Amino acid sequence: MKKSAERPRIALALQGGGAHGAYGWGVLERLMEEDVDVVAVSGASAGALNGTAFVAGLANGGRDGALAGLERLWRTVSDESPLKSFDMQTWGGPMYEKWYSGSLEFSKLMSRYVAPLMPQLHDMRQLRRVVRRSIDLAAIKRPDAIPLHIAATRVSNGAARLFANREITLDAIMASACLPDMFAAVEIDGEKYWDGGFSANPALEPLLLDGTDASDLLIVQITPFLSDEVSHSVTSIMARMSDISFNACLLRDLKALTDAQEVARRAPSATPATRALAHTSIHLMEAAPDLANRGPSSKIDTRWSKIQELRAIGREAAGEWLSAHRQAFGRRSTLTELPDTVAS
């Protein structure tokens, strides 16, 4: 195991979840207040956006640059949002919000039918503008940039493709965030891709096996495993189906990872990858329960007031997790088996 006196070297795995990626912003912001080094990042969908903004900012300006990069990303998301003019929380009141959420849910339900008729939506022009305006993609290709891996899903066979620093282009980021009910598949090198959340949400293997020398792997979950209640509405059912689908690959990878680590620790090997697996402490920061209760429209609500709410929830959840588990960094895994809520 790593010596407890060493400064923790954290590899971050960032799950996706649409606008709930702003929750991930809050988590990262709080984590950066700790005395730790982030040495590698993996992400899918919104996690890929957060990860790219974070790594680019870190390369350009250290911790302050990483935090500034995340804020610039989410402010640009809000500035480019077609929902910006509907941000009336200060005087709209609960009745307005109820009407607004219902309208947004209906729009999401109809998006699969109308998106092909709206080129600006279908080809992801808005998200492309967000990335161009807010993220310095050249920075992630610099030799001193930390390793970054973003996932997309091959439409042809459902397999994950991971893009590393020098392979990460604007198209690769779009592919990682390409929800097929809203956007046209993104073509790269003759292959079409959909959202990375379907196949690797997020990818864990490269953070352990690619020589990052991380003392800890921290998985930041955005989509909760459990939901207290699912109504019989079509939008609610579809939202829950999406949550289950996007968590399925994380559950699969967590099961494989904990089983493999148990074997690696019982039978030490001279293989560098096996040693890294055995010696890395693994942690899962589960998504705050509040995220499951925000309604189906929340993941597409990009108004600044809602982004700020999610950021605050992320900061609070990260603070609570760190209070309970910070001392485990560099010493022991806090994820030794699947969470009881899932395993049962």
CB 222 within 8 A of CB 47: yes
pLDDT in tens, 66-91: 999 999 999 999 999 877 766 666 55
pLDDT digits 0-9 by tens, 330-340 = 999 998 666 65
| Distance between CA atoms of residues 73 and 54, nearest Å | 9
Residue 119 has pLDDT above 60, yes or no: no
Cα 168 to Cα 152: distance, rounded to the nearest angstrom: 11
Q: Greater confidence, 94 or 143?
A: 143
| Lookup: tokens for 4 | 């407890």
Note if the bond before 296 is cis, omega within 30 degrees. Answer: no
pLDDT recorded at residue 210: 78
pLDDT cut 90: percent of the chain above it: 56
pLDDT value of residue 93:
60
- Residue 147 β-bridge partners: none
Q: How far is CA 302 from CA 20, 83, 86, 162, 341, in A?
A: 9, 7, 10, 27, 30
- Whole-number pLDDT of residue 117: 42
Of 119 and 198, the structure prediction assigns the larger pLDDT to 198
pLDDT band at 296 (very low <50, low <70, confident <90, very high): confident
Render pLDDT for 184-235 as a digit per residue (tens, 0 to 9): 999 999 999 999 999 998 999 899 887 778 999 999 999 887 766 666 666 6
Give the confidence band of 281 by pLDDT, cuts at 50, 70, 90: very high
Most confident region among 21-30, 251-260, 283-292 by mean pLDDT? 21-30
Q: In this predicted structure, what is the pLDDT of residue 257?
A: 84
Residue 319 CA to residue 303 CA, distance in Å, equals: 25
Amino acid 113: pLDDT: 47
Tokens found for residue 167: 């392979």
Choice between 341 and 254, residue whose per-residue pLDDT is larger: 254
Query: Which range has the worst mean pLDDT, 116-125, 204-213, 236-245, 269-278?
Result: 116-125
For residue 325, the model assigns a pLDDT of 95
Chain segment 174-195, per-residue pLDDT in tens: 999 998 888 999 999 999 999 9
What DSSP designation does 303 have? -
